[in-house]
């Protein structure tokens, strides 16, 4: 099959590649319709690695996907041919200790689309387990279905924050994940969510949503703004979603005593963290790595209409123009949030 293949750092090809399509009894074969371009895909393209995950051989990109079931295994019960679906791209070992604890996202043996050496889904067909394939409601488009995966990260962050209705929050970073986190926090009960960034275009997109307060930190002192709005108390929750080392400098200034910081962004290099500042406020700290047990709930929120992700789709490319989509994503266009590639 043709696929978008990362041959090596900074080299993409749209070419034929042998990919397994053997259908097990509990698997479904899916015709891919829409695939989102994720920041991790772009990072593999531009850097050839993310932490310990290194591209040492050609790899098909893509892990945010929706499509149509075209064949089912003999024991599949919840899906049928013709169903429109989205897929949770990480497949754990269901017998592992992590899976039994309900934290299968950190199962060391998980296979995750487009994470070396596992191929992704930017190809016309994939075979995938029924257990991690979700039927799309009629009112959810393929484009929205392909957004469930990144929104699930926001859902994981909101769950880790243990939001109490009426909480206030700050999200550092107005990229795709930052905005997803802000929307999940609002859906989880936050009354107001500040989103900080350096780029006005991205802040303008975030500011379209009721309950989100965009703050450009080039123009506004974020600490002073938070202090003024909270009577010098601080927000209940801070979500760090930028991955920038600079974001950690003074991060404890924004959160109230006894509040929570959730680390979502992944810095490329190790960073310093002021543990004394955290201890002085007894700040609770949580981390996020992908997601577990939230994918279906993310889909349900989108289907309910309470979370509208359509404004975040800022460009759509055909499969034949996949390389151009990645080149645009790598260019850092300030008006872009989420680019998608359509195969259907």
Residue 161 lies in a domain: yes
Note whether 163 and 278 are same-domain residues. Answer: yes
Mean pLDDT confidence for 17-43: 96
Residue 302 lies in a domain: no
CA angle 326, 314, 206 (to 5 degrees): 120
What sign does the CA torsion over 116, 121, 123, 126 have? positive
CATH of the domain at 169: 3.40.50.720
Residue 259 lies in a domain: yes
Instruction: Note the pLDDT of residue 29.
Output: 98
The DSSP code for 136 is: P
Residue 304 lies in a domain: no
What are the structure tokens assigned to 174, written together? 């107005």
pLDDT tens digits for 190-221? Answer: 999 999 999 999 999 999 999 999 999 999 99
Note whether 139 and 187 are same-domain residues. Answer: no
Domain span including residue 100: 2-147+309-342
Note whether 233 and 315 are same-domain residues. Answer: no
Instruction: Note the pLDDT of residue 269.
Output: 81
Percent of the chain at pLDDT above 70?
Answer: 100
CATH of the domain at 71: 3.90.180.10
Instruction: Note the pLDDT of residue 119.
Output: 97
Instruction: Note the pLDDT of residue 340.
Output: 98
Q: Nearest 10 degrees: CA dihedral of 98, 176, 85, 185? A: 70
Note whether 26 and 105 are same-domain residues. Answer: yes
Note whether 27 and 137 are same-domain residues. Answer: yes
Note whether 244 and 178 are same-domain residues. Answer: yes
Note whether 69 and 182 are same-domain residues. Answer: no
Note whether 8 and 129 are same-domain residues. Answer: yes
Mean pLDDT confidence for 321-342: 96
Instruction: Note the pLDDT of residue 41.
Output: 94
| pLDDT > 80? residue 268 | no
Q: What is the CA radius of gyration of the chain?
A: 20
CA distances from 146 to 53, 128, 243 (A): 24, 15, 23
| pLDDT > 80? residue 339 | yes
Instruction: Note the pLDDT of residue 51.
Output: 81
Note whether 99 and 232 are same-domain residues. Answer: no
Note whether 73 and 43 are same-domain residues. Answer: yes
| pLDDT > 90? residue 143 | yes
C-alpha–C-alpha distance, residues 147 and 151, integer Å: 6
Domain count, the chain: 2
C-alpha–C-alpha distance, residues 69 and 10, integer Å: 33
Give the pTM.
0.95
Note whether 169 and 250 are same-domain residues. Answer: yes
Residue 322 lies in a domain: yes
Note whether 272 and 199 are same-domain residues. Answer: yes
Mean pLDDT confidence for 108-112: 93
Split at pLDDT 50, 70, 90, the class of 50 is confident
Instruction: Note the pLDDT of residue 52.
Output: 86
CA angle 160, 161, 167 (to 5 degrees): 155
Instruction: Note the pLDDT of residue 267.
Output: 86
């Amino acid at each position: 099959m043709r696929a978008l293949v990362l041959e090596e750092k900074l080299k993409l090809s749209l070419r034929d590649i042998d990919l397994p399509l053997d259908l097990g009894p509990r698997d479904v074969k899916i015709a891919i319709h829409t695939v989102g371009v994720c920041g991790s895909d772009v990072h593999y393209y531009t850097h050839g690695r993310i932490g310990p995950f290194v591209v040492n051989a050609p790899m098909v990109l893509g892990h945010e996907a929706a499509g149509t079931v075209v064949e089912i295994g003999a024991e599949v019960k919840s899906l049928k041919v013709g169903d429109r679906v989205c897929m949770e791209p990480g497949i754990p070992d269901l017998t592992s200790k992590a899976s039994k604890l309900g934290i299968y996202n950190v199962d060391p043996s998980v296979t995750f689309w487009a994470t070396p050496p596992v191929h992704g889904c930017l190809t016309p067909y994939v075979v995938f387990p029924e257990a991690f394939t979700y039927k799309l409601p009629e009112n959810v488009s393929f484009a929205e279905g392909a957004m469930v995966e990144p929104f699930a990260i926001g859902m994981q962050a909101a769950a880790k924050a243990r939001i109490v209705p009426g909480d206030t929050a700050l999200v550092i970073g107005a990229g795709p994940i930052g905005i997803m986190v802000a929307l999940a926090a609002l859906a989880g009960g936050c009354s107001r969510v500040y989103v900080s960034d350096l780029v006005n275009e991205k802040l303008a997109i975030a500011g379209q949503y009721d309950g989100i307060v965009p703050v450009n930190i080039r123009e506004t002192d974020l600490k002073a703004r938070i202090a003024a709005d909270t009577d010098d108390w601080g927000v209940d929750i801070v979500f760090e979603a930028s991955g920038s080392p600079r974001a950690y400098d003074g991060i404890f200034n924004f959160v109230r005593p006894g509040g929570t910081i959730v680390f979502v962004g992944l810095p490329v290099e190790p960073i310093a963290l002021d543990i004394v500042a955290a201890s002085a406020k007894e700040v609770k700290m949580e981390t996020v790595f992908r997601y577990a047990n939230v994918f279906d709930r993310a889909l349900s929120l989108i289907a309910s209409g309470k979370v509208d992700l359509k404004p975040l789709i800022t460009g759509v490319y055909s499969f034949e123009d996949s390389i151009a989509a990645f080149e645009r994503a790598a260019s850092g266009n300030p008006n872009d949030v989420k680019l998608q590639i359509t195969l259907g």
